[in-house]
Copies of this chain bind each other. A is one copy, B any other.
Amino acid sequence: MANLPFPIKEVQFVADEVLNLNGHYKKLGIHEEIDTETFVTIVEEASKFLHEHAGPLNRNADEQGCHHTKDTVTTPDGFKKLYKDYCEAGWASLDGDPEYGGQGLSYWLQLILGELNTFYCPGWSNYPGLTHGVRELLEKFGSDEQKTMFLPELTTGEWSGTMCLTEPHCGTDLGLVNTSAKPSEDGSYQITGTKIFITSGEHDLCDNIIHLVLARLPEAPKGTKGISLFIVPKFLINEDHSLGNKNTLGAASIEHKMGLNGSATCVMNFDDAKGFLIGEANQGLRLMFTMMNGARLNTGIQGLAATQASYLSALEYANERLQMRAATGPLYPDKAADPIIVHPDVRRMLLTQKSFAEGNRAMAYFVGQQIEVIKHSQDAATVEKAETLLAFLTPIIKAFLTEVALEATNYGIQIFGGHGYIREHGQEQWARDAKIFTLYEGTTGIQALDLVGRKLIQTQKGQIGPMADIIQEFIDNSSSTLAKQLQAYLNLWKETTDMIAQSATKDPNNIGAASVDYLMMSGYVILAFFQAQLHNAAKEGKGQLGVDFYQGKIKSAEFYFAKILPRCHSLQAVIASGAAPLMDMQPAEF
């Protein structure tokens, strides 16, 4: 399995020539220290570190997996050293608050760090990723005392973090949570219950693990309105930050999974474990879901990273593997056969991967920019618009980027032929690892319900909102050959949106019936918008990345419009057929 280097040029192109990094930060009045050159240099350094330290562990991490012992969970060989080196080199604290030992660099860079972690070693990526999420939640909602207690070590990575939501009988339906929290006399709580699917719930990478746990106080209202959020550390912490007693919690077992074997997925038992309430009682779900946008964006980016990695490996193989001759006659007559990249269908698969990765990267970074705007802009209207965009785009980023990652990684296998099915080549691992991205942090179906039911119908009253305006503005100001085609698809998307909004008033099942198809259509149209932007940017290319690079971008966009975007027509037809074909079937008729 090749440990290929991440293509830094891709980041540079999007940040500098498409999303105007310098202007973005200047307008927000933040990160004056980060110009494009610095930004790219930091990404280069991160990539270099991970290429050297994480990439070589990836194949073994899958084979070896994690192992549950009486006292802990052991991670694959090399992860412990990697974690230590990663923290010492400062990658864990990249965008951390300087007050707690962080480097105060940008959120966008942190997003790209997540992309790189997954690109080099998906099984490793969630250890730093989840810790970052826990840290962010505490920065936002922790009391001063809690911040002082937990944030320094969570920022440096000396301690790691988890989020404990799911229970055996409830995943999506968190209203059913029944882990309990009893108040103690000292103001803390005793947490009792079983949580499952807890990523990094137990491991051997660092000294302490800080769990964020959803639980129910005595007499709390039923359902989602009676859930509170608690900090429950593996080891209790003394005032001088040294570790105190072991808390009464632990991993009962770990899951054996399809993939992502380097990541420890634990069943956690809490047995009167000492915990501390975050924020107010019964507000736990709200706090947790405030952080969900970031977590879902990160998952989408994991899909992007898998797509990119599978593509580069498949491209290398397609250039080397000799098999059959080009349809127009031998192109490499001195070789035993032509490399398989001459065959149209191999190109179709490669270009699908390539165009997904390129367009989705621009989409993901654009969403990352919205989060930065929300965090830092002083202008209320600007923040509001960014919040609306973020709310609308988050389920799309989460579900669309991961669903197409499945398609892309599947093509990775297919391009390798039978060799793709063999583990040592690494392609099948990408497909197995990527599958979890469509499941955790809310399945594709749940994202789609969030998009259509909550965002489109409830919040936006059936209107696409600012995303459509941005696309329209782009079209109006573009003389690109693709802009006219984009207009037709924007119109189709709007018509389909109207159709759903109207049908939803007649039968609420029309929302769920249309949801996934509508989410995918939205993704294809938005991706087309970003591809059209890449196309424009490449035509006006600064030249810094070389002629081939820009030509590749132009042709990739044209491929996408010709070969992928027409999927919207079928999606529209399917949505138009409504809920009846789904709901008519009686239980006994299945």
The interface of chain A, by Cβ under 8 A from chain B, is 166, 169-173, 176, 197, 255-259, 315, 319, 322-324, 327-328, 336-337, 341, 343-348, 350-351, 354, 406, 410, 413-414, 417-424, 428, 431-432, 435-436, 438-440, 443-445, 448-449, 507-509, 511-513, 515-516, 548-549, 551-552, 555-556, 558-559, 562-563, 566-571, 573-574, 577, 579, 581-590
A336: contacting residue among B176, B324, B443, CB under 8 A: B176
A509 lies within 8 A of B173 (CB)? no
Picked from B171, B344, B347, B551, the residue with its CB within 8 Å of the CB of A323 is B171
Beta-carbon nearest neighbor of A258 in chain B: B428
Asked if residues A428 and B418 are in contact (CB atoms below 8 Å), the reply is no
Q: A172-B323, A344-B579, A548-B589 are in contact. Are A443 and B422 (CB under 8 A)?
A: no
| Residue from the list B328, B421, B583 in contact with A257, Cβ < 8 A | B421
Contact across chains for A445 and B512 when beta carbons are under 8 A apart: no
In the complex, the answer to whether B344 meets A513 with C-beta atoms within 8 Å is yes
A169 vs B339: C-alpha distance when bound (angstroms): 12
Given the interface pairs A346-B445, A570-B570, the reply to whether A413 lies near B439 with Cβ below 8 Å is yes
A416 nearest CB across to chain B (Å): 9
Q: Are A173 and B315 in contact (CB under 8 A)?
A: no
> Inside 8 A of A255's CB, which chain B residues have their CB?
421-422
Q: Name the residue in A431, A568, A574 with the highest tally of chain B Cβ atoms < 10 Å from its Cβ.
A: A574
Copies of the chain in the assembly: 2
Of B345, B346, B417, which one neighbours A439 at CB under 8 angstroms? B417
Q: Is the CB of B585 within 8 A of A555?
A: yes
* Contact indicator A445/B172 (Cβ below 8 Å): no
A562: which of B432, B563, B574 is its contact (CB, 8 Å)?
B574
Q: For residue A256, which residues in chain B have a CB less than 8 angstroms away from its CB?
A: 422-424
Contact of A421 with B590 in the complex, beta carbons under 8 Å: no
- A-side interface mostly: helix
Is the Cβ of A436 less than 8 Å from the Cβ of B414? Answer: no
Docked Cα-Cα span, A445 to B436, in Å, equals 27
Asked whether, in the complex, the Cβ of A435 is within 8 Å of the Cβ of B413, the reply is: yes
Contact of A552 among B424, B568, B570, B585 (CB under 8 A): B585
Q: What CA separation (Å) do A43 and B569 show in the bound complex?
A: 42
6 pairs from A and B in contact (CB 8 Å cutoff): A258-B413, A345-B448, A348-B516, A431-B435, A555-B589, A570-B571
Asked if residues A351 and B551 are in contact (CB atoms below 8 Å), the reply is no
Supposing A256-B422, A418-B171, A511-B327 touch, asked if A341 and B176 sit within 8 A by C-beta, the answer is no
Known: A439-B414, A439-B421, A589-B551. A570 touches B563 (CB 8 A): no
Measured between beta carbons, the chain B residues less than 8 angstroms from A172 are 323-324, 417
Q: Are A347 and B421 in contact (CB under 8 A)?
A: no
Judge whether B417 and A428 touch: CB under 8 Å.
no
Roughly how many angstroms separate A558 CA and B170 CA in the complex, as a whole number? Answer: 33
Can you name the residue of chain B whose Cβ is closest to the Cβ of A560?
B581
With a cutoff of 8 Å between Cβ atoms, the chain B residues found around residue A171 in the complex are 323, 417-419
CB distance from A37 to the nearest CB of B (A): 26
Least distance between A174 CB and chain B CB atoms (Å): 10
Query: In the bound complex, do residue B585 and residue A351 qualify as a contact, i.e. CB atoms below 8 Å apart?
Result: yes
Q: Which residues of B contact A516 (CB under 8 A)?
A: 345, 348
State whether A562 touches B577 (Cβ < 8 A): yes
Q: Is the CB of A322 within 8 A of B582?
A: no
**Nearest B residue (CB) for A504:** B327
Q: Which residues of B contact A508 (CB under 8 A)?
A: 327-328
Q: Are A566 and B574 in contact (CB under 8 A)?
A: yes
Contact A590 B432 (CB under 8 A): no
Give bound CA distance, A404 to B566, whole Å: 20
A415 to B: closest C-beta gap in Å: 9
How many angstroms between the C-alpha atoms of A411 and B328 in the bound complex?
Answer: 40
| CA gap between A354 and B588 in the complex, in Å | 14
Assembled-state Cα–Cα distance A549/B172 (Å): 32
CA distance A549 to B588 in the complex (A): 8
| Pairwise interchain contact B590-A577, C-beta atoms closer than 8 A | no
A513 touching B582 by the CB < 8 A rule? Answer: no
Q: How far is the CB of A31 from chain B (nearest CB, A)?
A: 33
A583 touches B421 (CB 8 A): no
Q: Give Cα distance in the complex from A171 to B317, angstroms.
A: 14
Once the chains are docked, how many angstroms separate the CA of A159 from the CA of B188? Answer: 71
State the Cβ distance, A264 to closest chain B Cβ, in Å.
14
- Pair B423/A258 contact, Cβ less than 8 Å: yes
Closest to A341 in B: B587
Across the A-B interface, the 10 shortest Cβ-Cβ residue pairs: A344-B512, A552-B589, A566-B573, A258-B428, A562-B577, A327-B508, A570-B570, A562-B581, A344-B513, A548-B588
